[in-house]
Chains A and B, each alone.
Chain A
Amino acid sequence: MTLATQVDRIIDARGMPCPGPLMALIGAIREGEVGDAITVLSTDQGSKTDIPAWVRKAGHELVEVAPEDGYARFVVKKAR
């Protein structure tokens, strides 16, 4: 696995049902600094739509969405 961005925090939300992974991301964005890159690992199918939709609405940057073996990896940069 190669990362395009240096990651400041990894949230392993695999096994967490919806909306757990999104809520964990929101919590990390609240706590983080502008410019931080946060990685979320999620097995929840809902995350594929929920996380990009929230990131767009909240004005952050979705740096990467990558399918992995049995889960998806999202990298989000706190933009404001």
Chain B
Amino acid sequence: MPARVAVLGGGVGGTLAANLLAKGLGRDVKVTVVDPTGMHVYQPGFLYVALGQANGRWLARDERTLLRKDVDLAVERAIRIHPDAGTVQLERGGSLEWDYLVIATGARLVYDTVPGLAQGAYEFYSLEGAQRLREALRTFRGGRIRVGIAGIPYKCPPAPVEFVLMLDGYLRKRGARKRSEITLLSPLNRAFTIESASKLVQPIMERRGIGLETFFNVESVDPSAGVVESLEGEKAEYDLLVLVPPHRGQRVVDQSSLGDPGGWLPTDKRTLQLEGHERIFAMGDATNLPISKSGSTAHFEAPVVASRIASLVHGTAPKTNYGGRVMCFLETGDGRATALRFDYEHPPIPPRPSRAWHAAKWVFNRLYWETVPQGRIPERASKGRGEA
């Protein structure tokens, strides 16, 4: 009888792990992906939608078309995981039995944890949010734009920096830059989490006249007064406010009592096993790992998860560990970008921003659908190339 693998989540990590397992184990495995929407969304595209450089149609595809034919897809919401029974309870009453479980459920946005955020702030962390922001920017004639972060951890740590740098060019092109003030409100004492990359982008921000307010952990928004307030007791007035919404792990993690207080799964940083559970693996945004929440992380974790499950199925010694590898681009505006390549032990040394890296990001954006979910970017080739 083939080993039954349930994969919760049809994002980058879940889709790639499912395809690699089915490809690698053939008849020895039966893989089922469980995803509540059945749609696969390319989230790095939201930034471009918000700035009018891409439309939403390009960003979503039917998950079925990305999975191998021998992988089953259940368009269902998983509501509870029973680790001891080896089952997952589904919302419509069914239950799925598994021998191995992969939890790749991602993060969810919890707007209501910051008072006034939903009413007072725009965001580009969902397609709808990015489209609303695009419309607001289209009619923006000038004023104070504040861009901040309403909770850590959040997906794609450089995204707010990319946004302010690209927004500068966007407003210049529309003749509204001189009448506008752009400020990044950072929760840290630098532009974003990665120190070496902050050192690269901060002088660029300064040259472009983009303000940086440090140690500004957003506490509340007063939409009627147009004021955002920080935990540190500071206030910033705005005409247009863009905030990264707070993130949490998915409900299924909370409902199964498997997560930490933030709903993130306690995960072994090398084996990617859920702590205390040999047959359960966690990956991507859903984990508590001290590494960027990004599609790239999930992309590099998926082969490790697939390989480790294959070893367990065959009763052989595990062949791989996850070393914390991540590779992503960082748009610096004006058609230039840099690249961040790092792992647990090695912080990134970003190259000077260039048009070539920007072009590489666009090529990657276009090729994503035909390459990443299917595992068509081999390990070696992806070493020097990138992803969003």
Contact = CB atoms under 8 A, between A and B. Distances in A.
- Tell whether A pairs with B: yes
Interface of A: 16-20, 22-23, 26, 29-30, 46, 50, 53-54, 57-59, 80
A61 B187 CA distance: 19
A58 B233 contact: yes
Contact of B217 (A26, A53, A80): A26
B215 interface: yes
Contacts of B231: 26, 29-30, 58
A52 B232 CA distance: 13
B189 interface: yes
Interface size class of B (residues with CB under 8 A): 10 to 19
B195 interface: yes
A80 B187 contact: no
What 3 A-B pairs come out closest when comparing CB atoms?
A: A58-B232, A57-B215, A23-B152
Binding site secondary structure of chain A: helix
A26 B290 contact: no
Interface of B: 152-153, 187-189, 193, 195, 214-215, 217, 231-233, 290
A59 B193 CA distance: 22
Task: Specify which of B189, B193, B195, B233 lies most central, judged by the most chain A CB atoms within 10 Å of its CB.
Answer: B189
B178 to A, nearest CB: 31
A65 B55 CA distance: 52
Contacts of B215: 53-54, 57-58
Binding site secondary structure of chain B: loop
Contact of B188 (A16, A17, A19, A58): A19
B189 A17 contact: no
Given A26-B231, A57-B232, A50 B189 contact: yes
Contacts of A17: 290
Nearest to A31: B261
Given A19-B188, A54-B232, 4 more contacts: A23-B152, A53-B189, A58-B232, A59-B233
Given A26-B187, A54-B215, A46 B195 contact: yes
A30 B113 CA distance: 12
B185 to A, nearest CB: 13
Contacts of B188: 19, 22, 50
Contacts of A18: 193, 195
Nearest to A23: B152
Nearest to A50: B189
B357 to A, nearest CB: 25
Contacts of B232: 54, 57-59
25 contacts: A16-B290, A17-B290, A18-B193, A19-B188, A20-B290, A22-B188, A23-B152, A23-B153, A26-B152, A26-B187, A26-B217, A30-B231, A46-B195, A50-B189, A53-B189, A54-B189, A54-B215, A54-B232, A57-B214, A57-B232, A58-B231, A58-B233, A59-B232, A59-B233, A80-B233
